[in-house]
Structure 1
Amino acid sequence: MKNKKPICIAVAAACNMLVGPAWSQAQADAAQEPVASVVVTATRAAKAVDKIPGAVSVISQQELAAQYQIADDPSQALATYIPGYAPSRQKMTSTGESLRGRQPLILLDGIPQSNPLRAGMREGYFADSAIIERIEVINGASAMQGMGATGGIINYITKTPRANGTSSGVNVRMASQLRSDNLDWKTGYSVSHKSDLLDLLGYASVQQRGMGYDGDGRRLGIDNVQGDSLDSHANDLFLKVGKSFGAQRLQVELNRFDMAGDGDYKNEPGVLAEGVPTSSVRGTPPGATPRNKVRSASVDYRHAELAGGALTVQLFRHHFESLYGATNVATFQDVRIAPKGTLWDQSHIVANKWGSRVTYVRPDTLVQGLELTVGVDYLRDHTLQRLAMTDRTWVPELKFDSHAPFAQLEYELGAVTLRGGVRHENAALHVDSYRTLAAYGDQPVQGGSAEFSKSVKNIGAVWRLAPSWSAFVSRSEGFGLPDAGLVLRGVNTPGQSVSNLISLQPIVTRNHEIGVNWRARSGQVGLSRYDSRSELGSVIRINSAGVGLVERVPTVVKGWELSGEWRPQGGVSLFGSYALTDGKTAATQGAPLDLDLGARSQGPDKAVLGANWAWQPKAQLRVQASHLFDRDINIGRKVGTSNLEEHFKGYTLVDLASNWETAYGKIGVAVENLFDRQYVGYYSQSAAATDAGNTYAGRGRTLSVSFSRVF
């Protein structure tokens, strides 16, 4: 890491900045407000960012609109705006997309979208980007929203009607590389209403994605098994209805999202020796096309004046299905069904969640300035994995139940905010008796239960040094579970029982962080240093047979993050960020922490620089560049038959976006990968470098045009 210090200094000197332009004159005026006025709700109570001890990021609606104009890809937006988020795969699958070397908990208005019991890495696509108002990101381990946030929390906040009256709107986006088969288009229609009686927001959209081409003009490789956004279609129906009566509010939210491949192209392996990446040819792949089916619903109640405090209650339901493409992998073979090597099948994950969140916040409890937050969460998660074509059980139904009371105190002592809390998780997992697949010996496994009870804590302080300066220090804990489904499906010895196989000892991650922030009307800068440790972590290693194995070994991730924005004059802003991530693990329990975390777990060091220019009152231009640094790790290292050596040659991508507000609506034009750079993605170079069918190049130069109008 010593050789990267000059780079850090250079980027720090170049960046006095954070993300985000103003995309209209009114928004430009709003951008001059101090960032301390930005309120975050992912902490269970609305808090100004300068009172939260930790690294918190809020991606505004204007920033999201700019990025989605360039590429309608949720993970690419996160990779652009969040320093510690790994590069996007540009696929339906999100394997390798992590936050600070660990997995984040993904929420939609507080409804959990992640599936930690059987992580199929398909949770990145669950809603249309047009319904998102902002994204709140709590960086670092956290337990405030429950299980799974070992890397942090990513909470997508949906839009809400702001102005009185009724309006409707239409949005259209088209992107192309000027080839006959690569048009990407989306159209959506919204209805918004706000009155004294109720407020309502409805949205419907359809999207069709074509193929893509790399910088050399070669058709991009399609992932027919794990899932791809290429050659696919999607639709979304969203409804939010709310009514306020005095200090109380009741709100109902429904979201119905579907995404599936079209099945018009097949994967064509590349030629590794000649540096030719995976491509695609016309043809129909076997089986049904990969798809995501997501249904989310919630009922929210709030009483803002209850016994001197505010009560919030949320009841939610979430249904998630991910179907993977057909393959004749050795794991699926069973000579009782078909001759060896001829049996094709498809993995199908189904997860159902029900739950509730109750939060009560009371300021000035007992003494002036002391705020008490208490509550209790309940979650029931039933997840299974089956083989769809032969209706075989791969992972039996995992029945998980948990309830968790929590309490937190926050004390305002002049310029200092002190915060500390504890959450006590009580959880149980039950699995009925089942048989493994023939590839594992058709072993009978006795059903059983496993339980755990664990308290996780957080403590921190923020010191507002001066009107524009603040510093924070924090220690927080998050918890998750090992991928129970991955363990249970691979049982290959007789006489096993669930109670003996699954240790529900959670993955407790402790995050220590210190940082300093400067926030003023002319810009803001944030610098933080973190140290994240798990004594009993979870690492997936791929053996020589291509099978993923869960290893319970310690992991440590350390890093620096810098982000900032500078507005030297009205209509002009410069922004940038830099993230240095260093993750380590061990070969076995008790062994030295001398192995680098691979691309499945962490991204490379990354820098983003850019500028925004409002060159006319109703016209804006944005230019941004993202650079990923080289990464060569674990040279000559193996654990068992798992080869851990990885190599990555970094690259720089430049994007441009502009828009104009006219009397007829807002028109936008953007170019992704402006200089048509030829590159192979980070995960493909690192984790799949020896697989000719999974070495995927990234998109070449892509032009997009958008139009939106409100009636």
Structure 2
Amino acid sequence: MTPLSRAVAAACLSMAAVNSFAQQAEAGAEPTMIEVVVTATRGAKAVDKIPGAISVISQQELASQYLIADDPSQALATFIPGYAPSRQKMSSTGESLRGRQPLILLDGIPQSNPLRAGMREGYFADSFIIERIEVINGASAVQGMGATGGIINYITKSPRANGTTHGVNIRASTQFRSDNLDWKTGYSISHKSDAFDFLGYAALQKRGMGYDGKGRRLGIDTVQGDTLDTHGDDLFVKIGKNFGDQRLQLSLNRFNLEGDGDYMKNPDATGADLPTSSIPGTPQGEAPRNKVRSASLDYRHANLADGSLTVQLFSHEFESLYGATKVATFQDTRIAPANTLWDQSQILADKLGSRLTYVRPDTFVTGLEATVGVDVLRDQTEQRLAITGRIWVPLLKFNSTAPFAQLEYEFGPVTLRGGVRYEMAELEVDTYTTLAAYGSRTVQGGSAEFSKAVKNIGAVWRFAPGWSAFAASSEGFGLPDAGLVLRGVNNPDQSVSSLISLQPIVTRNNEIGVNWRGANGQFGISRYDSRSKLGSVIRINSAGVGLVERVPTTVKGWEVSAEWRPSKQLSLSGSYAQTDGKTAATQGAPMDLALGARSQGPDKAVLAGNWKWSPAVRLRLQATHLFDRDINVGRTVGTSNLEENFAGYTLADAAITFDTGHGRVGVSIENLFDKQYVGYYSQSAAAADPGNTYAGRGRTLAVNWSRMFRSAR
């Protein structure tokens, strides 16, 4: 995309917002602020008082997007400008936020597994239970380790109305082929009274195969994991009780997604010029799966010493099984003859933690708000080879205690905010032996300790009705993929405590922006600069093995978003994101290599329109354009080929919902014009991995029916 076309895209969005503002002024109506409150900053706060780029995807927006595609990553890619395109797979490799990995939360419970990032964190809960998604763009330390790219917090639904309500939801999608019907059915019960409130949900789901725009069966990723040919279920419970100013709440989530094992890749139809396809067959070993178990006990006191106290105790159990392969890394002639040994990778991660937050307004002086607290995390992660029982990544025992303090001072139209979080972390690993492919090296156990203060400072100026400007500088703390580092040790006489590759990643994000929110629309534009002196880049060598390189990384970008509501019945919205990530071949080398598709997405523009045709009928049309990206032409580092070529494409979707006397009916068409395309990550990685060139879904029809029933009192 040329600089001129980038400027035109930004100008078009700006004109839409300014036009809305001008129309209000001509009508003599002063634009009013539409207050949007987020909680991902450790306290409920209006977005115009937070120095930074904050996005909230509402329940109505999620409902329309999940009608089009029941894919959490696709919803993020549609509504979050800096989020990379969805893989449409169980694997989320390449799904980054502003060129870095975000920390994913469910009601504040960490779902990400940064110690051994198997890129399976995209599927952990059923879409029905999500009320909204809060996104903090850019490095942030407020929620702990792993937020070098930002925070994505999925907020679950809560009972809203008194009484008892039952709900039924059925969704089905098809491309009118015999093996590609997707269906999901769910039942919910909600109760609210003076005694207690309760929300329960249970769902079953079955996904068939898919077809591309040319009618070819999509390729199934039987190793990294796929949503094709799978079944799943979710059981969610939330129960709470208020005691005056106090509240106690328990929530549990049990989620499963597992392959059926009825299809395999077509070995005669792969290559960079021909997308991977599938044929009926039974792959070796067990089918890939995700199992997630989350639990949270929350206590809140809304009036404790003139402040509010929130305490959360949580646990999170995560298991991901990958498909069987006889890759060279798994071979061991002590077990089986060379090139005959099949095995399956399995990642297990267990977390226990607590989060304490106390917020007190008017501390010492009027307008000064203090937020203090401490987070404790105990994370144990390992990676096994499930068939032979071998240890690939030893048990990583990570302990972190992080006190933090934040001060916010508001005077007139200005809000100043600054804080510090002090990470005291230790990673402990016992002595272990690497796989035979790495030389069966004995690595002496030990520990690596990290103590780091990460800071943030920023200001917001509300300089006119509805308008605000912000400037912010924030740091995020994380670790490189420690498991990937430790499993690949192939030199003798190594110890855990001496591996420089385990030094932490500290990312600083500097950002400025302008926002407008009024009765008839909103507009925002921001410019950011994110830097890591000792970053982490994964490069795939000629053997197909990922290696962690500790090199500096810089990501710069522009983001523009706008919405115009000319009437109560019609709204038009658009966004544009330009991302430019750079790194170096080695420490001290020039920063002249572009970050690859594993790390960042292409430039992206989204346009959408919502029309409330009548009080009972709503229509949504949307289009996403991904711009061409050709990088690192002819460049290599070691045996890693860094050249990537991506030919952009445009996709359009439509959805319509009807409110009837028998419930709400929704009908959608994904890929409205049946575009034939190969996904961004698959195109970019085709040179290194031509056997995994996956096309995207062709035109797909989905129908959804839901109905709520209130119990008689």
- TM-score, with length taken from structure 1: 0.97
- The equivalent residue for 1:364 is 362
Asked whether the 8 Å contact 1:689–1:695 carries over to 2, the reply is no
Closer, same or farther: CA 495–378 of 1 in aligned 2, 3 Å:
same
- The equivalent residue for 1:680 is 678
- The equivalent residue for 1:27 is none
Q: Secondary structure at the match of 2:691?
A: coil
- Alpha-carbon distance in structure 1 between the residues aligned to 2:557 and 2:491: 41
Q: Which amino acid aligns with 2:490?
A: N
Q: Secondary structure at the match of 1:390?
A: coil
Match of 2:526 among 524, 528, 536: 528
- Alpha-carbon distance in structure 2 between the residues aligned to 1:78 and 1:541: 26
Closer, same or farther: CA 35–628 of 1 in aligned 2, 3 Å:
farther
1:325-404 to structure 2, matched below 5 A, reads 325-404=323-402
Match of 1:52 among 50, 53, 59: 50
- The equivalent residue for 2:296 is 298
Instruction: After TM superposition, give the deviation of residue 673 of structure 1 in Å.
Output: 0.2
- Alpha-carbon distance in structure 2 between the residues aligned to 1:640 and 1:309: 57
Q: Which amino acid aligns with 1:4?
A: P
- The equivalent residue for 1:26 is none
Instruction: After TM superposition, give the deviation of residue 496 of structure 1 in Å.
Output: 1.4
- The equivalent residue for 2:235 is 237
- Alpha-carbon distance in structure 1 between the residues aligned to 2:566 and 2:496: 62
Instruction: After TM superposition, give the deviation of residue 491 of structure 1 in Å.
Output: 1.2
Q: Secondary structure at the match of 1:615?
A: strand
- The equivalent residue for 2:27 is none
Instruction: After TM superposition, give the deviation of residue 10 of structure 1 in Å.
Output: 3.4
Q: Which amino acid aligns with 1:292?
A: N
- The equivalent residue for 2:109 is 111
Q: Deviations over 1:57-110 (max 9, x none)?
A: 000000000000000000000000000000000000000000000000000000
- Alpha-carbon distance in structure 2 between the residues aligned to 1:404 and 1:659: 46
Larger mean CA deviation between 583-592 and 438-447 belongs to 438-447
Q: Which amino acid aligns with 1:431?
A: V
Aligned residues: 697
- The equivalent residue for 2:3 is 4
- Alpha-carbon distance in structure 2 between the residues aligned to 1:693 and 1:35: 52
Q: Which amino acid aligns with 1:45?
A: G
Larger mean CA deviation between 279-288 and 501-510 belongs to 501-510
1:610-689 to structure 2, matched below 5 A, reads 610-689=608-687
- The equivalent residue for 1:21 is none
Larger mean CA deviation between 233-242 and 33-42 belongs to 33-42
Match of 1:575 among 573, 576, 582: 573
Instruction: After TM superposition, give the deviation of residue 498 of structure 1 in Å.
Output: 1.2
1:401-550 to structure 2, matched below 5 A, reads 401-501=399-499, 503-550=501-548
Closer, same or farther: CA 16–155 of 1 in aligned 2, 3 Å:
farther
Unaligned runs of 5+ in 1: 19-31
Asked whether the 8 Å contact 1:17–1:563 carries over to 2, the reply is no
Match of 2:208 among 199, 207, 210: 210
Asked whether the 8 Å contact 1:17–1:577 carries over to 2, the reply is no
Unaligned runs of 5+ in 2: 18-29
Closer, same or farther: CA 15–74 of 1 in aligned 2, 3 Å:
farther
- Alpha-carbon distance in structure 1 between the residues aligned to 2:491 and 2:473: 42
Q: Secondary structure at the match of 1:569?
A: coil
- The equivalent residue for 1:604 is 602
Closer, same or farther: CA 698–503 of 1 in aligned 2, 3 Å:
closer
Q: Deviations over 1:424-455 (max 9, x none)?
A: 00000110111111111111111111101000
Q: Secondary structure at the match of 2:62?
A: helix
- Alpha-carbon distance in structure 1 between the residues aligned to 2:270 and 2:217: 16
Instruction: After TM superposition, give the deviation of residue 33 of structure 1 in Å.
Output: 10
- Alpha-carbon distance in structure 2 between the residues aligned to 1:669 and 1:33: 35
- The equivalent residue for 1:22 is none
- Alpha-carbon distance in structure 1 between the residues aligned to 2:38 and 2:438: 48
Q: Which amino acid aligns with 2:670?
A: E
Asked whether the 8 Å contact 1:240–1:252 carries over to 2, the reply is yes
Q: Deviations over 1:353-377 (max 9, x none)?
A: 0000000000000000000000000
Asked whether the 8 Å contact 1:270–1:693 carries over to 2, the reply is no
- Alpha-carbon distance in structure 1 between the residues aligned to 2:16 and 2:376: 41
Q: Secondary structure at the match of 1:117?
A: helix
- Alpha-carbon distance in structure 2 between the residues aligned to 1:149 and 1:492: 30
Asked whether the 8 Å contact 1:292–1:323 carries over to 2, the reply is yes
Asked whether the 8 Å contact 2:209–2:229 carries over to 1, the reply is yes
Closer, same or farther: CA 360–339 of 1 in aligned 2, 3 Å:
same
**Are 2:108 and 1:98 equivalent residues in the alignment?**
no
- Alpha-carbon distance in structure 2 between the residues aligned to 1:642 and 1:708: 50
- Alpha-carbon distance in structure 2 between the residues aligned to 1:687 and 1:503: 25
Closer, same or farther: CA 395–276 of 1 in aligned 2, 3 Å:
same
Asked whether the 8 Å contact 1:16–1:565 carries over to 2, the reply is no
- Alpha-carbon distance in structure 1 between the residues aligned to 2:663 and 2:495: 63
- Alpha-carbon distance in structure 2 between the residues aligned to 1:656 and 1:235: 27
Asked whether the 8 Å contact 2:9–2:576 carries over to 1, the reply is no
Q: Secondary structure at the match of 2:565?
A: strand
Closer, same or farther: CA 484–182 of 1 in aligned 2, 3 Å:
same
Runs of 4+ residues over 4 Å off in structure 1:
14-18, 32-36, 269-274
**Are 2:149 and 1:151 equivalent residues in the alignment?**
yes
- Alpha-carbon distance in structure 1 between the residues aligned to 2:293 and 2:596: 33
- TM-score, with length taken from structure 2: 0.96
Asked whether the 8 Å contact 2:485–2:502 carries over to 1, the reply is no
- Alpha-carbon distance in structure 2 between the residues aligned to 1:270 and 1:562: 44
Q: Secondary structure at the match of 1:568?
A: coil
Q: Which amino acid aligns with 2:5?
A: P
- The equivalent residue for 1:28 is none
- Alpha-carbon distance in structure 1 between the residues aligned to 2:157 and 2:601: 31
- Alpha-carbon distance in structure 2 between the residues aligned to 1:688 and 1:331: 21
Q: RMSD value over aligned CA atoms?
A: 1.3
Asked whether the 8 Å contact 1:543–1:643 carries over to 2, the reply is yes
- Alpha-carbon distance in structure 2 between the residues aligned to 1:222 and 1:247: 52
Instruction: After TM superposition, give the deviation of residue 505 of structure 1 in Å.
Output: 2.5
Match of 1:200 among 181, 198, 201: 198
Q: Secondary structure at the match of 2:97?
A: coil
Instruction: After TM superposition, give the deviation of residue 688 of structure 1 in Å.
Output: 3.0
Closer, same or farther: CA 419–426 of 1 in aligned 2, 3 Å:
same
Instruction: After TM superposition, give the deviation of residue 592 of structure 1 in Å.
Output: 0.7
Q: Which amino acid aligns with 1:571?
A: Q
1:259-298 to structure 2, matched below 5 A, reads 259-269=257-267, 275-298=273-296
Q: Which amino acid aligns with 1:643?
A: N
Q: Secondary structure at the match of 1:603?
A: coil
Q: Deviations over 1:315-367 (max 9, x none)?
A: 00000000000000000001111110100000000000000000000000000
- Alpha-carbon distance in structure 1 between the residues aligned to 2:394 and 2:15: 52
Asked whether the 8 Å contact 1:395–1:489 carries over to 2, the reply is yes
Asked whether the 8 Å contact 1:15–1:564 carries over to 2, the reply is yes
Q: Deviations over 1:266-314 (max 9, x none)?
A: 0124756682100000000000000000000000000011011000000
- Alpha-carbon distance in structure 2 between the residues aligned to 1:286 and 1:16: 56
